[in-house]
């Protein structure tokens, strides 16, 4: 099999992936990068998990990308960077200086991983994906939730690499829309409600809960909510009760 490099000058594309809407996930948008041929298939030696070292001793992560010009087959490349975000600026840092392989572990079937120093989240896409440092996460107490996109340490909650700001981890409640597949629709504590990493405006956290067989998916003492935490204030609740509905099939006009 032919092995390939991809230069990881991806900051513009990654920035777009981290600012996705509720209808568009990071996995739905490809990262585009240039490629360079590696010398041969023995140039990289496997170390642990998906990590390899080249003959110079530098650390790389093996990834697969969709090579559309080659009949849409998956090809292999090696990424020597990890992403860190500071405010709104993204930085590429060398894997060799960041990840502690001796303590590195993947967290179940989630996209989270950690070592003794940091927690990481992997954004998958057709370009092979990228690994980003989860700022503020405590690796000693961090655990991934059954839903692969959420994680919590002793103090904070996270959706991917984004902190759920203000959420008290010890008082969190996970609201599952599908308990078999462990799909989390919302996360809340006694003061905040989040859809993914976005606070639900005006939600009463103490009474917020999911509902079934209604033309909305959640409600609290003040409001009803459709997909993504959007309120239905301007819709006649009596009319809604008469609508035949199932998730994802009803569009409302305000």
Mean pLDDT, rounded, for 227-241: 66
pLDDT at 9: 39
Strand pairing category for 218-219 and 209-210 = antiparallel
List, edge to edge, every strand of the sheet that includes 198-199: 173-178, 183-188, 193-195, 198-199
18: confidence class by pLDDT, cuts 50, 70, 90: low
Mean pLDDT, rounded, for 165-181: 90
pLDDT at 68: 63
Element (DSSP H or E) covering residue 239:
helix 237-240
Mean pLDDT, rounded, for 222-239: 75
CA 97 – CA 119 distance, rounded (Å): 15
pLDDT at 59: 93
Domain boundary assignment for the chain = 1-163, 166-254
* Cα-based distances in Å from 167 to 156, 194, 210, 249: 6, 9, 19, 31
pLDDT in tens, 39-92: 565 789 999 999 999 988 999 999 988 766 656 677 888 999 999 999 888 999
Give Cα 159 distance to the centre of its chain: 6
Strand pairing category for 112-114 and 105-106 = antiparallel
pLDDT in tens, 135-155: 999 999 999 998 889 999 999
209: confidence class by pLDDT, cuts 50, 70, 90: very high
Dihedral sign for Cα atoms in the order 203, 181, 140, 105: negative
Mean pLDDT, rounded, for 166-190: 91
Mean pLDDT of the chain: 79
Q: In the predicted model, is pLDDT for residue 245 greater than 80?
A: no
Q: In the predicted model, is pLDDT for residue 226 greater than 70?
A: yes
Q: In the predicted model, is pLDDT for residue 21 greater than 60?
A: no
Q: In the predicted model, is pLDDT for residue 156 greater than 70?
A: yes
pLDDT in tens, 105-125: 999 989 999 999 999 999 988
């Amino acid at each position: 099999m032919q092995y390939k490099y991809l230069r990881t000058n991806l900051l513009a594309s990654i920035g777009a992936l981290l600012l996705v809407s509720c209808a568009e996930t990071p996995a739905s948008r490809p990262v585009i990068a240039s490629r360079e041929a590696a010398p041969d298939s023995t140039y990289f030696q496997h170390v642990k998990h998906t990590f390899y070292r080249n003959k110079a001793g530098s650390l790389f992560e093996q990834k697969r990308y969709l090579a559309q010009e080659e009949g849409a087959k998956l090809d292999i490349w090696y990424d020597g960077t990890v992403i860190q975000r500071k405010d709104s600026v993204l930085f590429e840092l060398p894997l060799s200086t960041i990840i502690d392989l001796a303590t590195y572990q993947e967290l179940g079937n989630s996209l989270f991983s950690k070592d003794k120093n940091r927690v990481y989240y992997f954004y998958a896409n057709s370009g092979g994906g990228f690994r980003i440092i989860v700022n503020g996460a405590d690796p000693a107490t961090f655990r991934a939730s059954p839903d692969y996109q959420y994680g919590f340490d002793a103090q904070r909650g996270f959706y991917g690499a984004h902190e759920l700001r203000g959420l008290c981890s010890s008082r969190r409640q996970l609201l599952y829309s599908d308990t078999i597949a462990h799909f989390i629709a919302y996360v809340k504590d006694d003061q905040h409600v989040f859809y993914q990493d976005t606070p639900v405006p005006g939600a009463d956290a103490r009474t917020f809960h999911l509902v079934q067989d209604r033309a909305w998916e959640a409600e609290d003492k003040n409001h009803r909510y459709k997909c993504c935490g959007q309120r239905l204030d301007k819709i006649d609740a009596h009319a809604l009760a008469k609508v035949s509905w199932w998730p994802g099939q009803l569009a409302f006009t305000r």
